[in-house]
């Protein structure tokens, strides 16, 4: 016994340190017999629990006796004096052994218990409970005030120890120190095992448990409620597992058992290995070894999870590969995947047409495929042979095995590297350049044609510029010629008018009889001279007007005037001719604004139009209608019921010297210049002159002018 005994007795302590309790438990574990366990407990009570004297008595129910087997604070003789039969039911200590759990004897007068003189003492039962008889008593002096919890705890520890020790073969052990040592050693070995080890009898009662098993399956009185419940549960699970094993369920003698860690409350998974052992003396029992497989199970679960994850990843990779295949197949350009050795490992359909021999194809097709393969392999091995290049671009001359036609392709090969930079594959994409080459050719042709066209356009433009220059010169020459002509005509007209006026003057004087009386034939001839000379003068005047206009020598003089007045003036001037024609001339003049334009030119136009109407209207009437049209325009129409003008001549009559009837035998006189002068004057006044006429129904000439002529 290693515990030091204190010299001063300590008053009954209410609390004992956990270390002290642990020390007793360890000590009891080491004890291989009942006496030494009882002695250790007695001494512990004196040292740690405040007892002054202690006696431990053991009950031998088979012999019906209770005898002191250990003591502390008392002599051996003294505690061995305690010995009496259990058949005395009224003996106070027999009563203490069979009833209740503790008794205090304050002034023991009974001569049968002269243990501590007349000092009071407390008796606490060791073991016993339910149907089991008590194993003995701990008697402690002085009597404990209040509940003897520490003594009870020590009694429980001793009880468990005694149960354990009682399983050991007692006789030889007691007698043979070597065997005792061996047993102690064996027990220590079992205790040292980290796996819980238990021995139960056939009823399932726990006979022996090592320290680890005790931790799981036993609970001292003073432990927490939670821990007690955990221990109860563990016992329940263990018994159930044992009974199932006995029934032969599951794998023989090996099954899983889920228990609760009483200190931490966590789940613990054990593998239960139980073996039946039979001993001739102790009968048959079951040895159970519990192997903690919590971590193992967790590891297994982890492995399962990892495996499942691996399977999922594998499926994903497979799906990805299928998708990739689909993608590669849907690309129109040939794609070829080669391994590290340059062997083709994958290709899409367009590539398949170039690099695989279709069964039943001819010798030529096979030769082409072989040649294609050789060209491709040499291209890829070019990339493989260089360690630093990751891509390669180049042209390969391939042929279509089906048609035998050249397929010029541009190849782009790229190395596929793993995360650690290891070459995994080479992917090559071939791009058919046939179309691009054709397009290029076409483009070249187009460029050529376009350049040709450009040249032609340039030549044509130069020619045009030449022509333009020529035309410009011609126009200049014409202009000069026209100016010369106008000048010539003006000069000639002037030179003609002077002698003509002299002729007219002398003819008039002679007709008036200045040179004497004229005979009738003389007068007739002279009248003809006068008429022809007047016609010639008109002609000369009109030619002079045209040449003046063309030479730009006809100035415009804008004045404000009343158009109605002007119309009256014109009809008055032509009155002799109107009277001679016998026609009715009607003027219909609306409300007109004051006009601001060249009055003289408007008058010349109106005189001309009215003269023509009188000339070409044998019968009927002539109407002059003037009215406003719009805000800034007036129209003057000269309407006759005369011979009319055929449609074909509507444009022609406005040209110089043009007449509808220009034959020498024509019915009407005239120069054919009147309308062309009218047209020119109208243009100068920024107006228009229009004709509507039907043959034999009459004509209408409509003059439209702006009321105000802006310069």
Neighbours of 165 (CB within 10 A): 23
Nearer of residues 94 and 645 to ligand ADP, judged by Cβ: 645
Residue 598: CB minimum distance to ligand ADP, A: 20
Output the six-digit token pair for 615: 């000339």
Residue 541: CB minimum distance to ligand ADP, A: 12
If we measure between CA atoms, which residue out of 120, 314, 104, 102 comes closest to residue 221?
Answer: 102
| Three-state DSSP class for residue 610 | helix
Does 86 participate in binding ligand ADP (rule CB under 6 A)? no
Q: Which conformational region is residue 404 in: left (phi greater than 0), alpha (psi within -120 to 50 degrees), or beta?
A: left
- Distance (Å, rounded) from C-alpha 667 to C-alpha 317? 114
Does 660 participate in binding ligand ADP (rule CB under 6 A)? yes
Nearer of residues 58 and 614 to ligand ADP, judged by Cβ: 614
Residue 485: CB minimum distance to ligand ADP, A: 20
- Distance (Å, rounded) from C-alpha 656 to C-alpha 551? 16
Residue 660: CB minimum distance to ligand ADP, A: 3
Nearer of residues 373 and 550 to ligand ADP, judged by Cβ: 550
Output the six-digit token pair for 434: 């046939």
State the virtual CA torsion across 569, 571, 576, 578 in degrees, nearest 10. Answer: 180
If we measure between CA atoms, which residue out of 635, 558, 556 comes closest to residue 596?
Answer: 558
Which residues in 423-452 contact ligand ADP (CB under 6 A)? none
Residue 536: CB minimum distance to ligand ADP, A: 13
Nearer of residues 401 and 642 to ligand ADP, judged by Cβ: 642
C-beta of residue 408 within 8 angstroms of C-beta of residue 430: no
Length of the chain: 711
C-beta of residue 660 within 8 angstroms of C-beta of residue 645: yes
If we measure between CA atoms, which residue out of 402, 327, 329, 398 comes closest to residue 365?
Answer: 402
Q: Which conformational region is residue 649 in: left (phi greater than 0), alpha (psi within -120 to 50 degrees), or beta?
A: alpha
> DSSP for 78-145?
HHHT-EEETT-TTSHHHHHHHSSSEEEESS---TT--SSTT--EEEEEES-BTTBPP-EEEEEESPPS
Residue 538: CB minimum distance to ligand ADP, A: 8
Residue 495: CB minimum distance to ligand ADP, A: 23
Does 672 participate in binding ligand ADP (rule CB under 6 A)? yes
Neighbours of 696 (CB within 10 A): 10
Nearer of residues 570 and 653 to ligand ADP, judged by Cβ: 653
C-beta of residue 691 within 8 angstroms of C-beta of residue 613: no
Nearer of residues 37 and 645 to ligand ADP, judged by Cβ: 645
Q: What are phi and psi of 555, to 5 degrees?
A: -75, 155
Number of residues that bind ligand ADP (CB under 6 A): 18
Residue 494: CB minimum distance to ligand ADP, A: 22
DSSP structural state of residue 253 = T
Residue 521: CB minimum distance to ligand ADP, A: 30
Q: What angle do CA 171, 175, 178 make, to 5 degrees?
A: 115
Nearer of residues 659 and 682 to ligand ADP, judged by Cβ: 659
Residue 609: CB minimum distance to ligand ADP, A: 8
Residue 675: CB minimum distance to ligand ADP, A: 4
Output the six-digit token pair for 386: 């260089």
If we measure between CA atoms, which residue out of 671, 669, 705, 708 comes closest to residue 688?
Answer: 705
Residue 560: CB minimum distance to ligand ADP, A: 29
Nearer of residues 560 and 586 to ligand ADP, judged by Cβ: 586
C-beta of residue 151 within 8 angstroms of C-beta of residue 140: yes
Nearer of residues 40 and 671 to ligand ADP, judged by Cβ: 671
Nearer of residues 207 and 660 to ligand ADP, judged by Cβ: 660
> What angle, 0 to 180 degrees and rounded to 10, lies between the N-to-C axes of helices 34-48 and 18-30?
160
Residue 543: CB minimum distance to ligand ADP, A: 12
Does 71 participate in binding ligand ADP (rule CB under 6 A)? no
Does 288 participate in binding ligand ADP (rule CB under 6 A)? no
| Three-state DSSP class for residue 274 | strand
Residue 489: CB minimum distance to ligand ADP, A: 17
Nearer of residues 55 and 614 to ligand ADP, judged by Cβ: 614
Which residue among 50, 73, 108, 670 contacts ligand ADP (CB under 6 A)? 670
| Sole window of 191-199, 462-470, 571-579, 636-644 interacting with ligand ADP (rule: CB under 6 A) | 636-644
> What angle, 0 to 180 degrees and rounded to 10, lies between the N-to-C axes of helices 18-30 and 177-192?
130
Nearer of residues 196 and 644 to ligand ADP, judged by Cβ: 644
Burial category of 223 from C-beta neighbours within 10 Å (exposed 0-12, middle 13-18, buried 19 and up): middle
Which residue among 122, 597, 671, 704 contacts ligand ADP (CB under 6 A)? 671
Nearer of residues 488 and 668 to ligand ADP, judged by Cβ: 668
Does 675 participate in binding ligand ADP (rule CB under 6 A)? yes
Residue 667: CB minimum distance to ligand ADP, A: 10
Which residue among 123, 274, 699, 704 contacts ligand ADP (CB under 6 A)? 699
| Sole window of 511-519, 524-532, 664-672, 679-687 interacting with ligand ADP (rule: CB under 6 A) | 664-672
Residue 697: CB minimum distance to ligand ADP, A: 11
Nearer of residues 432 and 640 to ligand ADP, judged by Cβ: 640
| Sole window of 8-16, 324-332, 397-405, 671-679 interacting with ligand ADP (rule: CB under 6 A) | 671-679
Half-sphere exposure of residue 340: CA atoms within 13 angstroms, side-chain side: 7
| Sole window of 67-75, 157-165, 388-396, 672-680 interacting with ligand ADP (rule: CB under 6 A) | 672-680
| Sole window of 108-116, 305-313, 589-597, 666-674 interacting with ligand ADP (rule: CB under 6 A) | 666-674
Q: What angle do CA 204, 206, 211 make, to 5 degrees?
A: 145
Burial category of 233 from C-beta neighbours within 10 Å (exposed 0-12, middle 13-18, buried 19 and up): middle
Which residues in 590-619 contact ligand ADP (CB under 6 A)? 612-613, 616
Residue indicated by tokens 């049968």:
112
Residue indicated by tokens 């995947």:
337
Residue 476: CB minimum distance to ligand ADP, A: 31
- Distance (Å, rounded) from C-alpha 594 to C-alpha 632? 11
| Sole window of 16-24, 104-112, 295-303, 637-645 interacting with ligand ADP (rule: CB under 6 A) | 637-645
Which residues in 639-658 contact ligand ADP (CB under 6 A)? 640, 642-643, 645, 653
Residue indicated by tokens 């003036």:
569
Does 659 participate in binding ligand ADP (rule CB under 6 A)? yes
| Three-state DSSP class for residue 452 | helix
Ranked by CB distance to ligand ADP, the top (closest) residue is: 670
Neighbours of 149 (CB within 10 A): 17
Nearer of residues 128 and 670 to ligand ADP, judged by Cβ: 670
C-beta of residue 286 within 8 angstroms of C-beta of residue 273: no
Which residue among 71, 136, 148, 674 contacts ligand ADP (CB under 6 A)? 674
Nearer of residues 348 and 641 to ligand ADP, judged by Cβ: 641
Does 242 participate in binding ligand ADP (rule CB under 6 A)? no
Nearer of residues 34 and 638 to ligand ADP, judged by Cβ: 638
Chain residues binding ligand ADP by CB under 6 A are 612-613, 616, 640, 642-643, 645, 653, 659-661, 670-675, 699
């Amino acid at each position: 016994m290693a515990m030091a005994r204190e010299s001063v007795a300590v008053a009954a302590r209410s609390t004992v340190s956990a270390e002290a309790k642990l020390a007793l438990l360890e000590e009891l574990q080491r004890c291989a017999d009942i006496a030494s366990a009882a002695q250790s407990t007695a001494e512990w009570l004196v040292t740690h629990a405040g007892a002054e004297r202690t006696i431990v008595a053991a009950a031998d129910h088979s012999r019906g006796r209770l005898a002191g087997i250990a003591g502390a604070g008392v002599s051996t003789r003294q505690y061995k004096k305690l010995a009496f039969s259990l058949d005395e039911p009224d003996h106070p200590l027999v009563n203490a052994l069979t009833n209740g759990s503790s008794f205090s004897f304050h002034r023991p007068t009974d001569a049968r218990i002269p243990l501590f003189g007349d000092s009071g003492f407390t008796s606490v039962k060791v073991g016993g409970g339910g149907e089991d008889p008590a194993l003995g008593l701990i008697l402690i002096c002085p009597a404990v005030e209040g509940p003897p919890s520490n003594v009870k705890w020590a009694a429980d520890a001793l009880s468990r120890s005694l149960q354990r020790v009682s399983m050991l073969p007692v006789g030889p052990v007691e007698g043979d120190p070597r065997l005792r040592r061996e047993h102690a050693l064996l027990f220590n070995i079992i205790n040292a095992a980290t796996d819980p080890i238990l021995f139960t009898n056939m009823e399932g009662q726990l006979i022996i448990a090592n320290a680890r098993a005790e931790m799981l399956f036993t609970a001292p009185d003073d432990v927490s409620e939670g821990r007690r419940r955990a221990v109860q549960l563990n016992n329940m699970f263990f018994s159930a597992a044992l009974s199932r094993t006995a029934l032969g369920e599951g794998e023989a003698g090996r099954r899983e058992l889920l228990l609760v860690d009483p200190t931490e409350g966590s789940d613990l998974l054990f593998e239960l290995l139980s073996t039946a052992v039979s001993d001739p003396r102790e009968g048959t029992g079951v040895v159970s070894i519990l192997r903690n497989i919590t971590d193992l199970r967790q590891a297994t679960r982890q492995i399962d999870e990892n495996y499942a994850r691996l399977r999922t990843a594998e499926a994903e990779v497979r799906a990805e590969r299928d998708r990739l295949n689909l993608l590669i197949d849907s690309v129109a350009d040939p794609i070829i995947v080669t391994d590290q050795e340059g062997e083709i490992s994958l290709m899409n359909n367009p590539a398949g047409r170039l690099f695989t021999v279709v069964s039943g194809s001819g010798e030529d097709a096979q030769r082409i495929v072989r040649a294609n393969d050789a060209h491709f392999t040499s291209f890829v091995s070019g990339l493989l042979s260089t360690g630093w290049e990751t891509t390669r671009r180049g042209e390969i001359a391939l042929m279509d095995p089906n048609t035998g036609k050249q397929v010029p392709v541009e190849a782009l090969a790229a190395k596929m590297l793993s995360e650690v930079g290891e070459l995994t594959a080479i992917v090559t994409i071939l791009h058919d350049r046939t179309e691009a080459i054709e397009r290029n050719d076409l483009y070249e042709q187009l460029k050529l044609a376009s350049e040709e066209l450009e040249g032609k356009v340039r030549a044509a433009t130069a020619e045009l510029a030449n022509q333009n220059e020529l035309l410009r010169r011609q126009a200049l020459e014409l202009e000069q010629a026209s100016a010369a002509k106008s000048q010539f005509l003006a000069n000639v007209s002037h030179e003609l008018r002077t002698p003509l006026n002299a002729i007219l003057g002398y003819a008039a004087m002679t007709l008036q009889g200045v040179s004497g009386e004229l005979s009738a034939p003389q007068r007739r001839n002279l009248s003809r001279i006068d008429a022809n000379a007047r016609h010639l003068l008109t002609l000369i005047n009109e030619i002079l007007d045209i040449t003046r206009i063309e030479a730009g020598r006809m100035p415009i003089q804008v004045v404000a005037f009343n158009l109605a007045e002007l119309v009256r003036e014109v009809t008055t001037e032509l009155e002799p001719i109107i009277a001679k024609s016998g026609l009715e001339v009607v003027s219909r003049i609306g409300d007109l604004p004051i006009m601001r334009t060249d009055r003289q030119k408007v008058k010349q136009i109106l005189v001309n139009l009215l003269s023509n109407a009188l000339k070409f209207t044998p019968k009927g009437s002539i109407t002059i209608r003037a009215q406003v049209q719009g805000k800034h325009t007036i129209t003057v129409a000269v309407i006759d019921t005369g011979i009319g003008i055929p449609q074909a001549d509507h444009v022609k009559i406005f040209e110089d010297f043009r007449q509808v009837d220009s034959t020498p035998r024509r019915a009407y006189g005239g120069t054919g210049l009147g309308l062309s002068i009218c047209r020119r004057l109208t243009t100068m006044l920024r107006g228009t002159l229009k004709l509507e006429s039907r043959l034999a129904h009459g004509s209408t000439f409509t003059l439209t002018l702006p009321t105000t002529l802006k310069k």
